[in-house]
Amino acid sequence: MLPRGFRNCNPLNIRRSKDQWKGLAEVQTDRAFCQFKSLEYGWRAAFHLLTRTYYHKYRLYTIRGIVSRWAPEADHNDTAAYIANVSKLTGIGPDEPLGIPSESPARWMMLGAAMAVQENGTNVFDYFAMLRGWEMRDER
C-alpha cells in the first residue's frame, strides 16, 4: 500500500486549511491532510508553499529554518532528525542558504524530494510528476 502522502497525491502532507489549492480533489475524505487530483497538483502546492510562502513571506532560506517551521517540535515531530535526514539526502548543510528559487531550482527540488522521503518513508515516487509540479508552482 502506498504511504498516505502519495495516496492523497500530497507528497509533503500539506495539512487541510482554509486555503483552496488549485487541483484539490472534489471530495476530501482525509480529515487532516489535503487530497489532490494528481501528484502534479500536490507537488505544485508543496513548491508554492516552499518558494512563495516559506522563502518570500517568512524569509526562510535554509533547511533548518524551513523544516523547523514545517515540522515543529510543538507538533510532536522529531524536528532535529527531520533536519538531519533532509540535509543528508540533499547534501546541503542545515544552515547553508538554499539560494533564490528561480536561480537554484535544483536545490529547491532536492529539498522537496527529501522532505517527501521524510514524510512518506520512501524514495520511490514519480519524479516526473515532481518536475511538472515545479513548472506549475506559479500558476494561479
Task: Evaluate if residue 139 carries a pLDDT over 80.
Answer: no
Q: For the chain, give every domain's residue range.
A: 4-136
Query: pLDDT tens digits, residue range 111-133?
Result: 999 999 999 999 888 999 999 99
Q: How confident is the model at residue 110 (pLDDT cuts 50, 70, 90)?
A: very high
- Interacting residues of 89 by C-beta distance below 8 A, sequence separation 6+: 110, 113, 114, 117, 118
Q: What is the pLDDT of residue 123?
A: 87
Mean pLDDT of 74-99: 97
Q: What does the pLDDT read at residue 140? A: 63
pLDDT at 138 over 90: no
Three-state SS across the chain? CCCHHHHCCCCCCCECCCCCCCCECCCCCCCCECCECCHHHHHHHHHHHHHHHHHHHCCCCCHHHHHHHHCCHHHCCCHHHHHHHHHHHHCCCCCCCCCCCCCCHHHHHHHHHHHHHHHHCCCCCCHHHHHHHHHHCCCC
pLDDT tens digits, residue range 26-80? 999 999 999 999 999 999 999 999 999 999 999 999 999 999 999 999 999 999 9
